[in-house]
Structure 1
């Protein structure tokens, strides 16, 4: 199933779609199974969902450190997910994709867990979701990718780029599917999410495979934004009218900026990897006129806000 049927958003006074973007939130394999950053970020997510609103959560990979899960009965589902994100305001749909650490384990088991949990939605390695913005005629499409199947796995401890996909056939199949979905999309807002970053100034830096294969498609089909994790911090990078959101601060924080010279001058708008903020995430609101991205730290303040236009409203001078 590669197109997920999304529930209608039944909020009588609401005329926007609001959601959280959380990456690299996957706890620890040994007791206490969570980090202080994961628990602090979960608390702030709950507060933000209550105060600013959240219809769902995008979990953009590295859901279980360090080696994913073994099977659908793995206790990590309980210890790292169910027992941490317990607040009522987080009892909303979670739309999940896998990261490199998940691929060390059994991703199929994470997909199967969708049958066990009312809020965990992971229908396939990659999939598309379509929403109508309440009380408007505007639409939002989110395409969830498996960048590990697309590019290969990476060894975090060696800080290496993913070298090549395990199966060229599967990588190509996903890329062709993506191109077809992007080409057909008439959505007012078109978002693509994956685990690896296209652009990043931090430890892993830009992902060469995505710069080559994904970035040209995002530009050609006028995507609104690309959402990811992998680097354990918060970043906002803007290129050609496309917003690149790195939200990988759900479990660890990393202040590393070693690849700042690999991102063209002027693209980076915001970076925070300060451990004293206790982690963070992005809150996104999409309404008839614009998409607003707010980066929020677990200590409770918003750090940066960016506004993106509808696809039809992006001017030619944004260099598409």
Structure 2
């Protein structure tokens, strides 16, 4: 009995859980004739640490996100990290939640769940405070550092799984003022725990569409380039388990790269823009299908729609037009 009591105390004493139990999420407002799931993906949207706490790019992108969500539908938003520049937040009571998030994405069409992961700038502050904020906000959903989302695609019998990763726990933080490369995880035990969890989830997944999301890119042609650690640890798993796509931010632009049947979506244009193509030759030849980081776009994000047999991904610029669209097919288990 004593041992059991001790076990409960130990479990209770574990700080914020690193991963999260998985169950199917039910879509709110799902009409009876719906046959798809739709969502937005935006990264690196985290404003500024001084007044007015937002940038022109963030404001323009938020406005266009609300229009696209209204016209094309959005059941939820994937927030791909760097949620608060430059050093995250220090506590759950930080005014930044209001200034950079709640009072920016105010449209009714964006009052949907925001599934959040942390970026390198968030890890410079208190990520646990961001996780804790889930209890204070109706739409901020950040249950743990990494977690899995499962959805039934309405009226189709098909399923969508999205695995949200913490690439900073996996690979280490990157210093934006040196050479910007992650130097390896702060705690190898945390990195290994996440990797083991991920492998188990992937091996078990029978989802018709399997998406992964993290802050760091696997492939990128821009300033930060491909993330070596993810090429070693994650890339083989994406191929082995036939992932549909990998979503990320970190580089402040929009990119679509396709390699070995996996789509790589970089959506990091929520707050800044960077047209840099330093690493153009460091990705597989012919894999870059789309790139923009021009200031004239005013910012950007991605809209995705998952139907019974395909996923349609559309890249939008904040000044109000779609720039690129691609279609990915469902996983085959042959």
- Give how far 1:156 is off: 1.4
Name the residue aligned to 1:231: 251
Please tell me whether residue 14 in structure 1 is matched to residue 34 in structure 2: yes
Residue of 16, 21, 36 corresponding to 1:3: 21
The Cα shift of 1:256 comes to 0.2
1:141 aligns with 2:161: yes
Q: Which residue among 299, 308, 312 is the counterpart of 1:288?
A: 308
Aligned equivalent of 1:119, options 121, 139, 164: 139
> TM (normalized to structure 2)?
0.93
1:72 to 77, 88, 92: 92
- 1:27 corresponding residue in structure 2: 47
State whether structure 2 residue 276 is matched by structure 1 residue 259. no
Contact 1:37–1:250, Cα closer than 8 Å, also in 2: yes
The aligned counterpart of 1:62 is: 82
What SS does structure 1 have at the residue aligned with 2:191? helix
Q: 1:60, 1:97 within 8 Å by CA — same for their partners in 2?
A: yes
TM-aligned CA deviation for residue 14 of structure 1: 1.4
Equivalent residue for 1:211? 231
| Secondary structure at 1:19 match in 2 | strand
Q: CA deviation at 1:12?
A: 2.3
Alpha-carbon contact 2:58-2:271 (below 8 Å) kept: yes
Aligned partner of residue 192 in structure 1, secondary structure: strand
Shift of 1:11: 2.2
Of 148-157 and 10-19, deviating more is: 10-19
Whether the 8 Å CA contact 1:4–1:123 is kept in 2: the answer is no
| Cα contact 1:100–1:148 (8 A) shared by 2 | yes
Cα-to-partner distance string for 1:159-202 (whole Å, 9 max, x where unaligned): 32101100000000000000000000000000000000000000
Q: Which residue of 2 aligns with 1:298?
A: 318
Q: When the two structures are aligned, how many residues end up with a matched partner?
A: 314
Are residue 157 (structure 1) and residue 177 (structure 2) matched?
yes
Measure how far apart 1:13 and its partner are. 2.6
Which whole-Å CA distance do the structure 2 matches of 1:167 and 1:13 have between them? 48
What TM-score, normalized to structure 1?
Answer: 0.97
Contact 1:29–1:66 (CA under 8 A) maintained in structure 2: yes
Tell me the distance in 1 between the aligned counterparts of 2:313 and 2:203. Answer: 25
Work out the CA distance in 2 between the residues paired with 1:72 and 1:131.
Answer: 29
- Larger-gyration structure (1/2): 2
Unaligned runs of 5+ in 2: 1-18
**RMSD of Structure 2 on Structure 1 (CA):** 1.0
Q: Please say if 1:191 is aligned against 2:191.
A: no
Q: Structure 2: how far apart are the matches of 1:87 and 1:8?
A: 19
User: Could you report, residue by residue, the CA deviation over 1:237-263 in whole angstroms, capped at 9, with x for unpaired residues?
Assistant: 001110000000000000000000101
